[in-house]
Chains A and B, each alone.
Chain A
Amino acid sequence: DAGITQSPRHKVTETGTPVTLRCHQTENHRYMYWYRQDPGHGLRLIHYSYGVKDTDKGEVSDGYSVSRSKTEDFLLTLESATSSQTSVYFCAISGTGERTDTQYFGPGTRLTVL
């Protein structure tokens, strides 16, 4: 299994509070991704990174920001959490960017915004 950890694994927070989720990899992979999983939608890409300090938006990026100051860490921040951001969040990594490259997923973080 790819060495990907996510923290925290579970979090309950209140509307309007900031939340940061962390993804950590030990594989030295270049690409990292944040997805959210919701019933009826499968997984949707929030943001991704193709290198240190290089990030870009996915299809559902509103209300989220990311940072990547080191190869191994990719942070997802909800500046002011809303109930619509209650979801399961998955981090993924992939290698050198070949079009056939495979993404490996972390165990997920279940976030509940009250």
Chain B
Amino acid sequence: GDSVTQMEGPVTLSEEAFLTINCTYTATGYPSLFWYVQYPGEGLQLLLKATKADDKGSNKGFEATYRKETTSFHLEKGSVQVSDSAVYFCAEVRRNTDKLIFGTGTRLQVFP
């Protein structure tokens, strides 16, 4: 079945460092792709999404580009802040379904 694979954490960075969290998907066709963020003790919030190849989703300084040739949707941010410390989930929705398939999550820890 469909699956989403993301890099294991925790990812530990100093403030202002560059962030990359890798995500690859297996769904055929053109799934929609999402990044969700979960802050401690809270539910998941949509961070960004992309719905077709070469689309770039962006929000709060985070970006991810839908790469069909590599089936990837890597999350990047040029300069992380302590407040970005959270767990990040990559997810896909396959065409003609409404079921999100999640990766296992990547914990990001940013230190001052």
Q: Residues of A at under 8 Å CB distance from B?
A: 31, 33, 40-45, 48, 50, 58, 90, 92, 94, 97, 99-108
Q: How far is the CA of A23 from the CA of B91 in the complex (A)?
A: 22
Segment with Cβ contacts to A, from B12-20, B68-76, B77-85, B96-104: B96-104
Q: Would you call A107 and B43 a contact (CB within 8 A)?
A: yes
What's the Cα separation between A41 and B104 when bound, in Å? 5
Count A-B contacts at CB 8 Å: 53
* Across-interface contacts of A90 in B (CB, < 8 A): 43-44
A-B contact pairs, 23 of them (CB 8 A): A40-B104, A41-B104, A42-B89, A42-B103, A42-B105, A43-B44, A43-B89, A43-B102, A45-B99, A48-B98, A48-B99, A50-B98, A58-B99, A90-B43, A90-B44, A99-B97, A99-B98, A100-B49, A104-B46, A105-B36, A105-B45, A106-B43, A108-B42
Q: A42-B89, A94-B98, A102-B49 are in contact. Are A108 and B103 (CB under 8 A)?
A: no
B95 partner residues in chain A, CB cutoff 8 A:
99
Residue numbers of B with Cβ under 8 A of A are: 32, 34, 36, 42-46, 49, 51, 89, 93, 95-100, 102-105
How far is it, in angstroms, between the C-alpha of A102 and the C-alpha of B45 when the chains are bound? Answer: 10
The closest CB in chain A to the CB of B1 belongs to A59
Q: Are A100 and B51 in contact (CB under 8 A)?
A: yes
Q: A41-B104, A42-B105 are in contact. Are A31 and B49 (CB under 8 A)?
A: no
Q: Which of B46, B51, B89, B100 contacts A45 (CB 8 A)?
A: B100
Q: In the assembled complex, how far is the CB of residue B60 from the closest CB belonging to chain A, in whole angstroms?
A: 15
Query: Shortest beta-carbon distance, B35 to chain A, in Å?
Result: 12
Q: Which residues on B sit within 8 Å (CB–CB) of A107?
A: 42-43
Q: Look across to chain B and name the residue whose beta carbon is closest to the beta carbon of A103.
A: B100
Which residues in A have their C-beta under 8 angstroms from that of B34?
102
Give CA–CA (A41, B8) in the complex, Å: 12
Query: Contact between A100 and B32 (Cβ–Cβ < 8 Å)?
Result: yes
